[in-house]
Amino acid sequence: MALLSISEPGQSPRRSHANKHALGIDLGTTNSLVASASPDGPKVITNEDGCELLPSVVAYSKNKILVGQLALNSAEQISSVKRLMGRGSSDIKHKLSYTLTNAESGGMPLIETSAGLKSPVEVSAEILKVLAAQGKQYLNAEIDGVVITVPAYFDEAQRQATKDAARIADLNVLRLLSEPTAAAVAYGLDKKLEGNVIIFDLGGGTFDVSLMRLEKGVFEVLATGGDTALGGDDFDRAIMHWVQEQSQIELQQEQIAELSSIARNAKHVLTEEQTVEIKFSAWSGVLSREHYYQLIDPLIQQTLKACRRVLRDASMEISDITDVVMVGGSTRSPRVQEKVESFFQRSLLNEIDPDQVVALGAAIQADILVGNKYDNDLLLLDVNPLSLGIETMGSLVEKIIPRNTTIPVSRAQDFTTFKDGQTVMSLHVLQGERELVEDCRSLAKFELCGIPPMVAGAAVIRVSFQVDADGLLSVEAEEQSSGVKSSIVVKPSFGLEEKEIEAMILASHREAEHDRDLRRLKENEVEALRIIEAIKSALAQDAELLDEAELKSLQQGLSTLEEALKSDDADLIQQHSEALNELSVTFAARRMDSQIKTAFKGKKLEEVDR
């Protein structure tokens, strides 16, 4: 509750209720993990078989959904779904072991399964559900919130899709956290690492590199770069391609999964051995390590190029870097290590398991965000990875928020009409670094209607971009000169429609409706009690900030909600909770302002006041 947490810094209020339960989730392309923080430090939660990694694979059949290891034996498995998140059909360039249809949902192609068409978001939700259940069982408690990691280089649409998946899995997302930032949290808090740190994160399907400054609890992303479609899977694909070339076998769709697993094995063998014998169908051949390196060197070169870019964006030299942290299973590759080591001219840090480090960092951050560690002074300052802008005349993109701007951020720019009497303006929101609209990713299109007719150039349309701490964008347009306001908030066109999400949530819970109702009642009750407690304690401290009428209406709201709590009616409780929350808005804002004044105390404000 805000009213609780805005007490003065350093004077953390005691929590009246027990510790809350939070999870850190690394939703990976190839494997996913879940971790939780405990007083002894963060820990990866294993499943009942003792496995830490859950293969990010889902198989649908008529009456069952299999996830992880269990799905790996199914002929109809869906893997690497992360690569489809927030992506249109035209973005997906490599062969898949499953079939994408022309049908779309939220701009993403739907996947054909025995249980009907599924969106990549729904498939991801199944993985999240299993991870959350694993966490719930381990902690033996309901989960209050999760932090889910995403590649730093994930764009708006990919982030939104991830958040939607969490909603379908019925998880309360405390924060989407960039994977390299999560890794930095693990190293910074657990290993007390400080300085200018490169986080080199090569996973199964994505590559991220971030340059961060770590000092005294402040973790600041200086620059980030990468490629959301480059990872260890591409090493496998390079081997697959080689096998196909050598064997002259025309690859059938049902063979893709088999060959991909053969390639993965070969890759692993080559980290130890000089050669590997590969058998596929009737063909067999030998791949030497040297030749394998030739296949993957161009891919590694791409990662180093991104490293140079990041150094440049942060105006730093290689000699300014104090440490290089390796994250992601693919950094186990000796060739990758060799190349990165020689690029940065220093030895690499990999003392925390590169597969686990992201989930561990996410768990630490989740524990803080859920409110278990009030005394923490951890501050994560993240950046937006790609520039955000709007289409202007001539199909050009006017950048409104450049890449590597610290978030949260809001920026506005004024535009005007170009025809006399123009009453409608079309706005097209884009993401990317290029100048032309066609080279950038289209996020949303919307129209501002009801502009009062004026001569061309007289109307002032202020377009405001707001990026929140999760890196999610909302855009608003408003006509200003006439005082007539019309505004609209858009969701990116790749995100799912609210009603689609609702429908998916419903479908996913139909069988457990009763439990859900009960849970909702419980949650609403808890929330109501929290609001009551917070307002009462805020009133005890700061009642003088309110006038008599405000105080009276707040107290009335309190007693109405207390009455509603006796009813067992979830809707009624929610309704009165919201009403009371609404009533306390002014109070919260005033308390926050008075707190800021306190923070400025002793700094001779009058000296700077003009």
- CB nearer to other proteins: give 249 or 409: 409
User: In the annotation, is 26 catalytic?
Assistant: yes
Q: Which residues contact 441 (CB under 8 A, 6 or more apart)?
A: 155, 157, 386, 430, 431, 432
Q: Which of 156, 179, 367, 382 is flagged as catalytic?
A: 179
E-state strands within 378-470: 379-381, 388-392, 396-401, 409-415, 425-431, 441-448, 461-467
Q: How far is the CB of 603 from other proteins (least distance, A)?
A: 4
- CB nearer to other proteins: give 548 or 607: 607
Q: Which residues contact 506 (CB under 8 A, 6 or more apart)?
A: none
* 3 state DSSP class of 168: helix
Contact 328, 354 (CB under 8 A): yes
User: In the annotation, is 517 catalytic?
Assistant: no
- CB nearer to other proteins: give 96 or 583: 583
Beta bridge partners of 461: 415, 479
The rounded distance, in Å, linking the Cα atoms of 8 and 1 is 14
Q: Which of 45, 237, 228, 37 is nearest to 132 (CA)?
A: 45
Q: Which of 281, 290, 310 is nearest to 207 (CA)?
A: 310
Q: Which of 122, 126, 155, 201 is flagged as catalytic?
A: 201
CA distances from 276 to 149, 267, 291, 300, 425 (A): 35, 9, 11, 21, 62
Q: How far is the CB of 591 from other proteins (least distance, A)?
A: 9
User: In the annotation, is 373 catalytic?
Assistant: no
Chain centroid, CA 39 distance in Å = 26
Q: How far is the CB of 248 from other proteins (least distance, A)?
A: 35
- CB nearer to other proteins: give 67 or 538: 538
Contact 261, 230 (CB under 8 A): no
Contact 412, 501 (CB under 8 A): no
User: In the annotation, is 201 catalytic?
Assistant: yes
Q: How far is the CB of 126 from other proteins (least distance, A)?
A: 26
Backbone angles phi, psi at 284, to 5 degrees: -145, 150
Q: Is 25 left (phi over 0), alpha (psi -120 to 50) or beta?
A: beta
- CB nearer to other proteins: give 103 or 596: 596
Q: How far is the CB of 575 from other proteins (least distance, A)?
A: 15
* 3 state DSSP class of 123: helix
Q: How far is the CB of 365 from other proteins (least distance, A)?
A: 8
Question: Which chain residues interact with other proteins by CB under 8 A?
Answer: 1-3, 5-6, 9, 145, 174-175, 218, 305, 308-309, 312, 368-371, 377, 379-381, 405-411, 466, 468-469, 531, 581-582, 584-585, 588-589, 592-593, 595-597, 599-600, 603-605, 607-610
- CB nearer to other proteins: give 115 or 412: 412
Contact 135, 419 (CB under 8 A): no
Q: How far is the CB of 17 from other proteins (least distance, A)?
A: 12
- CB nearer to other proteins: give 121 or 184: 184
- CB nearer to other proteins: give 568 or 582: 582
Q: Which of 82, 129, 163, 267 is flagged as catalytic?
A: 82
Other CB atoms within a 10 A radius of the CB of residue 129 amount to: 19
Q: How far is the CB of 173 from other proteins (least distance, A)?
A: 10
The rounded distance, in Å, linking the Cα atoms of 508 and 528 is 27
So which residues are the catalytic ones? 26, 82, 179, 201
